[in-house]
Chains A and B, each alone.
Chain A
Amino acid sequence: MGNREEMIARIEAMAGRMRRNVLDMALAAGASSSHFGGGLSIIEITATLFGEVMNYDRDKPEWSERDRFILSKGHGCVGYYTALLEAGFITKEDLLTFEKTGSDLIGHPVMNRAKAIEFSNGSLGMGLSLGIGVALAAKRRKSDHKVYVVMGDGECNEGSVWEAAMAAPNFKLDNVVAILDRNKFQQTGSNMEIMSVGDLADKWRSFGWKVVEVDGHDVGELYDAFTNEGVSEQPLAIVAHTIKGKGFSFSENNNDWHHHVLSKTQYDAALEELNNSLAG
């Protein structure tokens, strides 16, 4: 591994490729539409995890000591599948089957350990509980892998999130990292309009978590949050401030793009914008 700047540049380039692949997936999905905005807000998070932070073996997807990744906000799967392509678990051909009949890559993750999809997700508020079970099992067999759970801020409307949030510190799970994608929107409006989740950092801290707040599109900040020495016997929550639809001017902070069809004209414009930003 090179120095920090090189690592950051590498992950940023990876995130750029992932956004391009998100466009390809969204176009391939056609009229069946895709969860565009909430997938784009987590791109730097999944890029940093799969590109640098997490331990895994692409030739042995079920290696028992692998770090586990759980996309609790399963609708953000375009930000997950594109990372799996970068990590070498799936192919570009796989990616373009997105949401097609019989595909392994459906609009919410479907458990497929051979392709490094740990669990089926989609129904919100369930991922952290699964992660706690996995983390407790790891402690029991004295394995030191970590469990990364990406959750949405809208997802935090679900009561079950808070059952799990209460449990992890009680069980002293310093091998659990919850990443809260704080893009400030949910399906039909902003958090503020629909159901404010308030100060998420305060809430998670009061439940007993060590909490770090970062710019969720800043690879360096994310990397530091993931790798700084944690607190013994305390789980880590990273509140990642993000932009829903990040990367394209038409979709950033535009909740129409929560779940939307991408036209060929929009695709071409988005690709041009992406190429320009990467060139710049």
Chain B
Amino acid sequence: MKINAASMKMWSRIGSRATFGLAALEIAKEHENLMVMTADTSTSAGLDRYRKTYPEKFLDVGIAEQNMMGIAAGFASEGLDVFTATFGPFQTMRCCEQIKVNLGYMGHKVCMVGLASGIVLGTLGYSHCCIEDVSVMRSIPGITVISPADSGETVKATLAALKHPESIYIRLTGGMGNPIVYKDDYEFEIGKAIELREGNDVTLIAAGTMVYESLEAAKLLEEENISASVVNMHTIKPIDVEAIERACRNTKCIVTVEEHNVVGGLGSAVAEYKATIPGAPPQMLLGLPDKFGKSGEYRDLLEQYELTAPQIAKRVLGRLKELT
């Protein structure tokens, strides 16, 4: 797939979900062993064209995620390269034990794609929001967890997942008109964080939609004479420990930013490693509070939870003042 300014712009417009569908379409062209599965979610996953073009490489199991993960493992055990795609809560929690036993315990490799995770579906309520998936998935041995920063990175992650040796959960956040983090092609490697901006006061470690917000926050902090590094921690498991060590060496405060419950997600993953570093700087965990609140429009919810760039900048500034 051509990754350039034009394609990045187009993918951003259609959002991560539809971009995943395009990536699958591209992979299927040359990949005989591909099998893409959905649970009555082919349209939601941007797979309408795929379904019509490659019916022999597609299976819809109906609204039955537990069965989907079992069948996926059966396919994988027979040598097929399998993707499954449905909404975040149904892709991770409805079939959690199937993932544990079939993918984790037995090691059958399946690439799972959690659609519209986070709070982008706020108007549909917390049944459809997903603020727990990273926490749940990363507690299962043998599952890699990725949260792409934008639509372009969704393509990168999808292609990388295919070559990855173990099962992987790709968490898609944001809606259509996903802000663009990467305007041009770049090097993407699972497990290797990307420092998007250097800084020596504070490091913002973010994943998913929060990468863009953190970059914008860093610009605002610069106006306040705060030099903020921004790290795209696209792989949450295995976490890039070298990136955490660098952040601890170079800056006085670590801020993790995620569209996920502050319990068990990116912030926790960073804290788990950081706790082993003697004299490591303090950490501020920004994310969604550990409670189900009122639902609503995506941007309203982000504001409510103070996860927009200006709010992030303000909160970081406040914390830095406390620390000095």
Contact = CB atoms under 8 A, between A and B. Distances in A.
A126 B73 CA distance: 10
Contacts of A137: 74-75, 78-80
B74 A132 contact: yes
Given A120-B105, A163-B64, A167-B64, A130 B97 contact: no
A231 B4 CA distance: 54
Given A137-B78, A166-B64, A128 B106 contact: no
Interface in B97-145: 97-98, 101-102, 105-106
B70 A129 contact: yes
A133 B105 contact: no
Given A120-B105, A130-B102, A167 B72 contact: no
B47 interface: no
Contacts of A39: none
A133 B73 contact: yes
B74 A126 contact: no
A134 interface: yes
A93 B78 CA distance: 30
Given A120-B106, A126-B101, A160-B66, A167 B71 contact: yes
Given A120-B101, A167-B61, A167-B64, A133 B70 contact: yes
A257 interface: no
Interface string B302-323: 0000000000000000000000
Given A133-B70, A160-B70, A163-B67, A126 B80 contact: no
B202 to A, nearest CB: 45
Given A134-B78, A137-B78, A167-B62, A123 B67 contact: no
Interface of A: 111, 118-120, 122-123, 125-126, 128-138, 140-141, 159-160, 163-164, 166-167, 170
B72 A133 contact: yes
The winner among B59, B64, B71 for most chain A CB atoms within 10 A is B71
Contacts of A111: 106
Nearest to A130: B74
B168 interface: no
Contacts of A119: 77, 106
Interface of B: 56, 59, 61-62, 64, 66-67, 69-80, 97-98, 101-102, 105-106
A88 to B, nearest CB: 23
Nearest first, the 9 closest Cβ-Cβ pairs linking A and B are A133-B74, A129-B70, A137-B78, A163-B67, A163-B64, A133-B71, A160-B66, A134-B74, A130-B74
B300 to A, nearest CB: 36
A18 B79 CA distance: 33
Nearest to B77: A134
Given A120-B101, A160-B66, A166-B64, A136 B106 contact: no
Contacts of A118: 77
13 contacts: A126-B101, A128-B70, A130-B71, A134-B77, A136-B59, A136-B71, A137-B78, A137-B79, A160-B67, A163-B62, A164-B70, A167-B67, A170-B62
Contacts of B79: 137
A111 B71 CA distance: 16
A135 B75 CA distance: 9
B84 to A, nearest CB: 11
Contact of A163 (B66, B73, B76, B101): B66
Given A141-B78, A164-B70, 15 more contacts: A126-B66, A126-B70, A128-B70, A129-B69, A129-B74, A130-B70, A133-B72, A133-B77, A134-B78, A138-B78, A160-B66, A163-B61, A163-B66, A163-B67, A166-B62
A132 B97 contact: no
Nearest to A143: B78
A119 B67 CA distance: 16
B67 A129 contact: yes
Contacts of B69: 129
A120 B73 CA distance: 11
A106 B56 CA distance: 38
